[in-house]
Structure 1
Amino acid sequence: MLFRMIFGLPGAALVTSLLFVIMAWMVRQEALVNPPVDPPKIDILAKLKPTKPTPNPPRPTAPDDPPPVEIDFIDPIDAPGPGVPIDRIPGPITDGGGPIIDMTTTRPTIRPHPVYPENCRARGAQGVVIVEFDVTPEGDVVNPRIVSTANACLDRAVLNTIQKWKYSPKQDSSGRPVMQRGVREFFNFQLTEE
């Protein structure tokens, strides 16, 4: 053990010192072999071609007056349905004892006309659009939906217009306003020649 201490410690110190010197020399040599080089400067130049001034396109002029739109409103028809003659019903006729509800249809009080959409007019779209909706006790239009359409281009104009309409609400037998469902209106869009 004493022998290891006498020869081992100085030997380990010598090996460590030699490794340190060799590593320092390697680093120094690396610095001398590869001197720093500035990267090359690259300039990219492009010749500009003279551009010709483009003439401004003519501004579109607004039409003086849009052509009139002819819209036919078809009033709902209150037609009696098929029935049974009274003389063929056996027994006495009673009212059933239930509440009596006025079945007359509501009438619009505020009825703005739809605007014929320009893109539909340019395409030549025309025809009848049928819209169905409900009327609240306050007379407002709710739940509008297109039932039938000649051209889908016209649907948005009809839905926007019908929501602006106001109705005199239907009343029950006691005079209270009630909700009326399934009210239908017809809009006929036709282009006129001028």
Structure 2
Amino acid sequence: MGSIVRLVIGVPIAALVTVVLFVIMYNLIVPDAVEIEEASDNLRISINDEVAEVEARRRDTTIDDVDQIDPPPPPPQIERQAAEQPTEGLDTIVGQIPEFDTPQLASDSVSFSVSDRDAQPLVRIEPQYPPRAAERGVEGTCAVRFDVTPDGTPTNVTIMSCSSSMFERASIRAVERWRYNPKVENGVPVARRGVETQFNFELAD
């Protein structure tokens, strides 16, 4: 029963509040009427359709007013003289050319021979001091033996004697980088065997 009473009383009140809020919002949204004053003065813009003609001043020029210019004279003619041929012979001017006997070359009188030679070094690179030996202050010598191929390349490098094993690898690598003029026998490059050399490993002071 109480809920029905509240419903009967609440519905008219809610409707009244809604109408009041609607009227207030309408008055806030709709602006006031503003009277627009008409302009008292009327602007008039006129454009002149007529184009004024401008008289250009013309100057009459005739051919008689231009000065007559004479062309330049032609260049002088240069006479060409023909060169006279010498009447004396060449031997009179520079002297008589001596005569030489033509040498006689026979195939049996000329011989070319290539002398034999041993292998000769062209590129010789010193071995690099081993870092481990340098840190320990070790000095010494190392003797190696190797062969030289007909194209001048060292091969078969072996250690003959070495004061320390630390110098062996450096000695072999140095010899492998050398280059030779090969040994020649009867004009033909041949292999050279048993070449020996020794390296001295000394620390700088």
TM-score normalized with structure 1 length:
0.45
Bigger Cα Rg: 2
